[in-house]
A and B are shown apart, each in its own frame.
Chain A
Amino acid sequence: MTTKLFAEVDAKAAQQLLDSPTPPLLIDVREQNEWDAGYLRGATHAPKGTISFTIGNIAPEKSAPILLYCAGGVRSAAVAETLAGLGYTNLTSMVGGINGWSAAGLPVVETTTLTPEQKSRYSRHLLLPGVGAEGQAKLLKARVLMVGAGGLGAPAALYLAAAGVGHVRIIDFDNVEASNLQRQVIHTTDRVGMPKVDSAAVQIHALNPDVQVEAINGMLTTENVASLLDGVDLVIDGTDTFEARYALNDAAVQLGIPVVHAGVFRFEGQLTVLAPGRGPCYRCLHPTPPPAEMAPGCGVAGVLGVLPGAIGVLQATEALKVLLGIGEPLIGRLLLWDALEGGFTELTVRRDPHCVACGDGKRGGGAA
């Protein structure tokens, strides 16, 4: 008499297992092209042909509960037998596979099918845990507002475009000047005199044709900030005036849109993520603007060209973390970088319950 080496459940029972307080490890044993067309949320992809080699990393503990599925239930049953032979003791195969799951009206994670060109372009992202095809699809659907195409905006825009952030709206009111080129690497010598947003659009298109650029040659004001933020997932703040920064902050708090804020001065920069409802806003950090002589711009004080480059790239990094939902974004943390020392300092920034923008009881405030 033989004992069955694994259990079998239908889609509804599988869903109950997955919704239980101690859900099983969910493994999709289909081929790459099948996975790319859609898979179950939370699944790990381990194709049948190689699972004997990969299972040790996926499930080091042989008594761990494992739920296997394929398209129709045949391959997952075969894999369950294989794994039982390797000593796994708590195996379940989903009868009917993902087809049965879909037929039962249960949700499947739809991936944007990447074109062969995109698979090649983003191949280093596709290899990364936490990004993969699902994360890349998120980036391709993401919409970012870049306020300023200058020292911070230039490197941030280039890296966001390279990463495949699908829609970039850029606002700036300046034209490219020769003195910008020491640091604003999105512009070029032959585009001196061109509006910065148009120059940035040219460079982004040249770098990555996947990215749609919306170039707005103008100034952010309290009147237009809400329309600039419309439909946006995240903002890169590369502003250089406190009026613009407060206007952006107040509207972003109202609309619940995270802002990656940064500032630079000579050899030093600072960076934080202002996420409404999850941490402080810019007014919590700086309730009052300093007088002009206390915050001179780079045109007065000078700046090491690479400094806004480094800080702008850190802004792009934080933006990607927030868009992908990975890592620990700099929410409630202000990072200072001293380029000459080569050292970082981290300060804690708390939401101010009395903040005029995001304090308790205000829309977008942190209090429940």
Chain B
Amino acid sequence: MSINVRIPPVLRAQTGGAKVVSVEGATLGATLQALVAAHPELREQIFEADSSLRRWVNVYVDGADVRHLGGLETPTRDGIEVVILPAMAGGAAAPVGE
């Protein structure tokens, strides 16, 4: 079973530039754990210390927000697409937070 996880541009430094990472897992949680096992620097970007999802990270399974599905318990199947999507900054020049 292979699941494609789409990595947002802001996290691609942690995946060696990869835009899509293929991993396996019977649930979304297992899939994302497999992802961070392959790319350990992603762990603290995606997960809280208690392995729940960080609140500012949205995850979509086949286009639907997992907060409205089963969260990390959402079952997966071969061929689904997982999208990780943090909030994006805007179009102006000033760096955020400055």
Contact = CB atoms under 8 A, between A and B. Distances in A.
Interface string A218-251: 0000000000000000000111111001000000
B88 interface: yes
Interface in A158-188: 172, 174, 177, 179-180, 183
Contacts of A297: 89-90, 92-96
Contacts of A148: 90-92
B15 interface: no
A234 to B, nearest CB: 18
Interface residues of B, number: 30
Interface string B61-98: 00111011000000000000001011111111111110
Contacts of B6: 345
Interface residues of A, number: 57
A300 interface: yes
A286 B93 contact: no
Contact of B56 (A290, A301, A311, A312): A290
A187 to B, nearest CB: 11
Interface string A314-353: 0000000000000000000010101000000111111010
B88 A300 contact: no
Contact of A347 (B65, B67, B89): B65
Given A287-B55, A294-B45, A347-B83, A263 B93 contact: no
B9 A266 contact: yes
A264 B90 contact: yes
A312 B91 contact: yes
A127 interface: no
B86 A295 contact: yes
Nearest to A154: B91
Contact of B10 (A180, A239, A245, A295): A295
Contacts of A267: 9
Interface in A90-112: none
A346 B91 CA distance: 20
A295 B9 contact: no
Contacts of B2: none
B9 A296 contact: no
A160 B93 CA distance: 22
A135 interface: no
B56 A294 contact: yes
B93 to A, nearest CB: 5
B58 interface: yes
Interface in A254-268: 262-268
Contacts of A238: 90-92
A294 B93 contact: no
B36 to A, nearest CB: 16
Nearest to A240: B90
Contacts of A177: 93
Given A263-B88, A265-B89, A290-B87, A295 B65 contact: no
A179 B6 CA distance: 31
A45 to B, nearest CB: 41
A242 B86 CA distance: 12
B91 A242 contact: no
Contacts of B85: 270, 334, 336, 347
B96 A241 contact: yes
A239 B90 contact: yes
Given A286-B56, A295-B10, A349-B65, A151 B91 contact: yes
A299 interface: yes
Nearest 9 CB-CB pairings of A with B = A263-B88, A151-B91, A150-B92, A292-B97, A240-B90, A152-B91, A308-B91, A240-B92, A290-B56
Interface of A: 148, 150-153, 172, 174, 177, 179-180, 183, 237-242, 245, 262-270, 285-292, 294-301, 303, 308, 311-312, 334, 336, 338, 345-350, 352
16 contacts: A148-B92, A153-B91, A174-B92, A264-B90, A269-B88, A286-B56, A288-B56, A296-B89, A297-B93, A297-B95, A299-B95, A300-B95, A303-B91, A347-B65, A348-B64, A350-B65
